[in-house]
Structure 1
Amino acid sequence: MLLVKNADVYAPESIGKKNILISSDKIIYLSSKIDFPDKNFPEIKVLDGDGLTAVPGIIDLHMHINGAGGEGGFTSRTPEMSLTDFTTNGITTCVGLLGTDGITRSMGSLIAKANALQIEGITTYCWTGCYEVPTRTLTDTVRSDIVMVDKIIGAGEIAISDHRSSYPSYQNLIHLASETRVGGLISGKCGILHLHVGDGKDGLKTLFDVIDHSEIPFENLLPTHVNRNSLLIKESMEYVKMGGFVDITTGIKNEGDSAVSAWELYIDMMQEGFSPYNITMSSDSGGSMPLFDDKGKITKLTVGFPNTDIRTIKSLIEKGMPLELSLIPLTSSPANLLKLKNKGHIKEGFDADILLLDKNFNIVYVISKGKIMVDNYKASIYGSFENK
């Protein structure tokens, strides 16, 4: 058992100073006062949360956990991520995916990596597929992947408006979205079609066509990287106004022609009066982030880092955004959209995924599934083959 005492709790809404009692991997009691019998009571480890802020663990729905890349040749393939890449940056739940390369990276290796990270201490899920359509799967279809494989919750990232995509028509995407939706209905999962959106001139046109020509609900479609250029920013605003959901990439910065940082677009969306529960954020970490010129030649190749999530939260707070609103796109919003029933909130009966932050919003402690993964600013549990 673990007791976090006297922390200022944002669940993500502010609920004041609380004691958080954890048994195994669950939060079992939240109270402003807690007393225990002097005798015959199980031993409890106590963390002093006085002066610290407790928030839900970060949920990152777009991470290349087993590496990605390759657009610059075999030497540009990015390495697999390690446990402390997640924990030291406050990520207690993630969704892994393939991306551009569905040839040298496979669904089998992705599932294996997700299982390894789960054993090491965080919660993991996966999208099935890669950029191309028809896409790569573990079983014979996307639908059966979602129904039969516990880790798989939907399909993605399927590329549109990108020179690396297979240029699927809206009819192709309607079929694929139907497959993911029905798979989700049968299995009780979110059944989302997660779309990579590139810098192409079509922007979100294919997605708007899917909405116009089908009965696929908005909650089964999630485009990402919408802050990468001015066209996508404008169209994503229109899409959310219609009732759609979008994912903003924290790893994208104010660079290139018209890309904007995640915090900047999120503030603009809040000023438009949009619900924060129509917006999620993710890092795209572990994946390569190539920049191409107008002839399709790589001019720059970088890697996405998981620290951009917590940095975005800090940036939002620095710009005057309330802490609760700053947390929602990386905690309760993805939990709700992905149907992760016991995630994204600090509540009794929910998974004990908690960050304790200091007054500067630096991570002091990370608790994942009830275990202390980061202790006094430093990793306390390491993954296989990590240097301690």
Structure 2
Amino acid sequence: MIHLLRNVHVYAPEDLGNCHVLVAAGKVVAISHEVPHIEPSLLTTDQDYAGKKLIPGLIDGHAHITGGGGETGFSSKVPAVHLSEYTQAGVTTVVGLLGTDDLTRSTSSLVAQVYALRESGLSAYCYTGGYHIPLTTLTGSVKSDIVHIEPILGVGELAISDHRSSQPTFDEVARIAGDAHVAGLMTGKAGIVHFHLGDGDRGMDLINDLLQQTEIPARVLNPTHCNRKKVLFDQACQLTRLGCYIDVTAFPVAEDEDGLTAADAFKQFKANGFPPDKFTISSDGGGCLPHFDAQGELLHMDFGRNLALSETLKELLDAGLATDQVLPAFTSNVAKLLRLNTKGQVKVGLDADLVILDTEHQIQDVMAMGQWHRKNHQTLIYGGFETNK
């Protein structure tokens, strides 16, 4: 398939101005200020976008692709996320993981769902393990999973500072992080440990201990949900000065909650001058969003939606923040952390994962690996078992 996108304002994520973009064989093959010379009969699609913004496809680095939940019994397990739920949010690459339920859900089923999404045209990867130690693995070890199973990028989401965790010790986590790092060196993969942070008082203590007492590089230690408490976010921001990437979750925050929305966290991070390349935003799509009392009793529960990612992007752009400063948290920063070298940018030779924003900063068109999944706000490609075709 060959596609010509005329007169798009390209944010790659850097601002390239008004350009014409040619896509062929799933790759971006030309970005130019002059219309590429190509026989019109060869074009699958040819559209003039009249200056609308073209951005890289969003990378959702934390999603429960097989579903999450289960904190209130088996009936509370969230089902797997449908293909169109990703593309409606402008997500063209997703990283799946296991959470609280790493027993009835497995790394095996996670890898299988990665392959299913790939067969449907989406780029997908995953982590091995889950909340608890011993980790749920496919081959019996973290190092072997990362080395031998191509889609597995690292370990996640390993829970700390949470009553639902296995209360891991320093030595246990240090060994896991060391194995992940070495496996990353052997393969060129990310080799990171993606930490679920609960709202416990210990906060980032374990990560700080690892930085101070081991030789494990800071980039290996990647905390998420850092915006669930304001004090936790303050701790996380300091980690970025040491080389850690931090991830915030695009979940709803009530007025009486001690937390920050992803948009507010981004604004605060930027205003305080922390390293802009060490900040990412993910959706927790398909995962549960429970609220517990001091005794660990569930008060109420919602679940994460991938659309929260595009809604956060819109909120930031609507607030007047510069597009090229906002986009990296959803695209190139994630790709750099995860070592996804063909993702996160609009660049000749890289994968044609592209999103067109309408004039209100909503997701209009979505191309994944050179194939249109959405056009004019309408889904063109659905997953095999979606009921709303």
- Say yes or no: TM over 0.5: yes
User: Matches of 2:174 and 2:255 in 1, distance apart?
Assistant: 33
Residue 143 of structure 1 aligns with which residue?
143
- Aligned equivalent of 2:45: 45
Partner of 1:311: 311
Aligned 8 A contact 1:254 1:260 in 2: no
Q: Distance in 2 between matches of 1:236 and 1:242?
A: 10
Give the partner amino acid of 1:318.
D
Q: Describe the SS at the equivalent of 1:312.
A: helix
Q: Cα RMSD (Å) of the superposition?
A: 1.3
**Distance in 2 between residues matched to 1:19 and 1:77, nearest whole Å:** 45
**Residue pairs, 1:176-195, within 5 angstroms:** 176-195=176-195
Residue of structure 1 equivalent to 2:113: 113
Aligned to 2:210: 210
In structure 1, what is the equivalent of residue 19 of structure 2? 18
How many pairs were matched up?
A: 387
Cα distance change on mapping 1:145 and 1:255 into 2, 3 Å: farther
Distance 1:37 1:75, change over 3 A: closer
Task: Choose 81-90 or 311-320, whichever is displaced more.
Answer: 311-320
Which residue of 2 is the match for residue 263 of structure 1?
A: 263
Change (3 A) 1:159 1:36: same
Residue 3, structure 1, aligned to residue 4, structure 2: yes
3-state SS of paired residue (1:348): coil
SS in 2 for 1:65: coil
- 1:246–1:252 Cα change, 3 Å: farther
Q: Are 1:291 and 1:301, in contact at CA under 8 Å, matched by a contact in 2?
A: yes
Report whether the alignment pairs 1:85 with 2:55.
no
Give the 3 Å change call, closer, same or farther, for CA 284–38 of structure 1 in structure 2: closer
CA contact (8 A) 1:252 1:259 kept: no
Are 2:234 and 1:234 aligned? yes
Contact 2:6/2:48 (8 A) holds in 1:
yes
Once the 2 structures are TM-superposed, how far is the Cα of residue 133 of structure 1 from its aligned partner? 1.2
- Once the two structures are superposed, the pairs formed by residues 157-176 of structure 1 within 5 Å of their partners are 157-176=157-176
Where 2:42 maps in the other structure, the secondary structure is coil
Query: Counterparts of 2:145 and 2:354 in 1: how far apart (Å)?
Result: 31
SS in 2 for 1:16: strand
Partner of 2:37: 36
Distance in structure 1 (CA, Å) of the matches to 2:4 and 2:76: 45
Q: Deviations over 1:67-115 (max 9, x none)?
A: 1110010110000111001011100001000111111101111111111
Please give the alpha-carbon distance, in whole angstroms, between the structure 2 residues aligned to 1:79 and 1:161: 26
User: For the structure 1 residues 381 and 172, does the alpha-carbon distance in structure 2 shift closer, same or farther, using more than 3 Å as the test?
Assistant: same
CA distances 1:100-157 after superposition (whole Å, capped 9, x unpaired): 1111101111111111011101100001001001211000100000000001000010
User: Percent identity of the aligned residues?
Assistant: 39
Shift of the 247–35 alpha-carbon distance from structure 1 to 2, 3 Å rule, reads closer
Instruction: Mark the runs of 5 or more structure 2 residues left unpaired by the alignment.
Output: none
Residues 218 and 242 of structure 2 are in contact (CA less than 8 Å); yes or no, is this contact kept in structure 1? Answer: no
Aligned structure 1 segments of 4 or more residues deviating by more than 3 angstroms: 254-257
